[in-house]
Amino acid sequence: MKPAPFNYHRPSTIEEALTLLSETQGAELMAGNQSLGLDMASRNKRPDHIVDLDAVDELSFLDVTNERVEVGAMVTHRTIERSEELDQALPMLPESAKIAGLSVRNRGTMGGSVAEADPAGNYPAALRALEGSINLRSLQGARSVPAREFFTSYMSTDMRENELVESVTVDRSQFPMDRTGMSFIELKRSALGWADVSAAAAVRVAKPDESEPTIEHARLALANVADVPPAVDAVPRELEGEPLTESAAEAVERAATAAADPSEKVHTDGEFKPDIAGTYGRRAIERAYDRATADST
């Protein structure tokens, strides 16, 4: 099927885009068009006006400082995947950007992904594990919403009408990379499709050279196991202050299993999700821990 007819707008500044959004009835933003295009072709969505963000250069930036990482909304998966700066600062982001095939990676964006808020999406889970924030802008001003509050229910966010995603930010202070490990792992049935379950983990240890380094900071989040990507809240409690022993890893597995709460809306095989979430949650933490320690590969 073809999309229903629509009017096309191509602003070149954020201000122009926001003005179009607030003054044009039935307008929808377009970023990489990897999800919107399908929704429009199937006529699930019939916007009267499309506001294409492709020429808004202000939204295409990567800013990596010693304190934080900020990724502009129009930065593509491919740019994130290939960024050496990001790989040094927050390797979970490039790892989570290996989304589908090159045609999706070359067009799909950070902003489109978080705005869409698919519970199977890679960045929502990564941003929850990294305790990142989503920066929103409207003609009235800017505000920043922690990822834990941004994703509110199935494919819904805290974003208001007439707001757009300007960028996402992660504070680097929790993640000194000389003693932090990160991982993003997925169970996939097809290389180019969505993952059945994904797990995003970050682990900081006190002294990587010790034989059994003590964990100082541990976070785990999951994708495609509930209507909103859950952070596994028990993980800091179970792991911090201890090395990653077998019994601690088993506790992570139990906690990740319990965090899965699949409704019929999440993609595929709800009945298996809790078990897979447990296994992948544990593996993600183990990999992050290995990477945080001196023996990392």
Ligand X SMILES: Cc1cc2nc3c(=O)[nH]c(=O)nc-3n(C[C@H](O)[C@H](O)[C@H](O)COP(=O)(O)OP(=O)(O)OC[C@H]3O[C@@H](n4cnc5c(N)ncnc54)[C@H](O)[C@@H]3O)c2cc1C
Among 112, 132, 230, 274, binds ligand X (CB under 6 A): 112
CB of 99 to ligand X, least distance (A): 4
Q: Which of 25, 150, 23, 11 is nearest to 74 (CA)?
A: 11
CB of 55 to ligand X, least distance (A): 13
For residue 164, state whether it binds ligand X (rule: CB under 6 A): yes
Among the residue ranges 80-88, 114-122, 173-181, 261-269, the one whose residues contact ligand X (CB under 6 A): 114-122
The DSSP element (H or E) to which 250 belongs, if any, is: helix 246-259
Residues 44-63 that bind ligand X (CB under 6 A): 53
The nearer residue to ligand X, 29 or 199, going by C-beta atoms, is 29
The nearer residue to ligand X, 112 or 278, going by C-beta atoms, is 112
Q: Which amino acid is at 116?
A: E
Among 27, 69, 71, 73, binds ligand X (CB under 6 A): 73
Strand partners of residue 21: none
* Residues comprising the chain, all counted: 297
Binding mask 1-40 for ligand X (x = CB under 6 A): ---------------------------xxxxxxxxx----
Both tokens assigned to 86:
């990001």
Distance (Å, rounded) from C-alpha 106 to C-alpha 87? 18
The site for ligand X, by CB under 6 A, has a size of: 29
Is residue 199 a contact partner of residue 184, using CB atoms and an 8 Å limit? Answer: yes
Both tokens assigned to 187:
């169970």
Give burial (CB, 10 Å; 0-12/13-18/19+) of 22. middle
Binding residues for ligand X, rule: CB under 6 A, are: 28-36, 53, 73, 99-100, 104, 107-109, 111-113, 115-116, 121-122, 164-165, 193-195
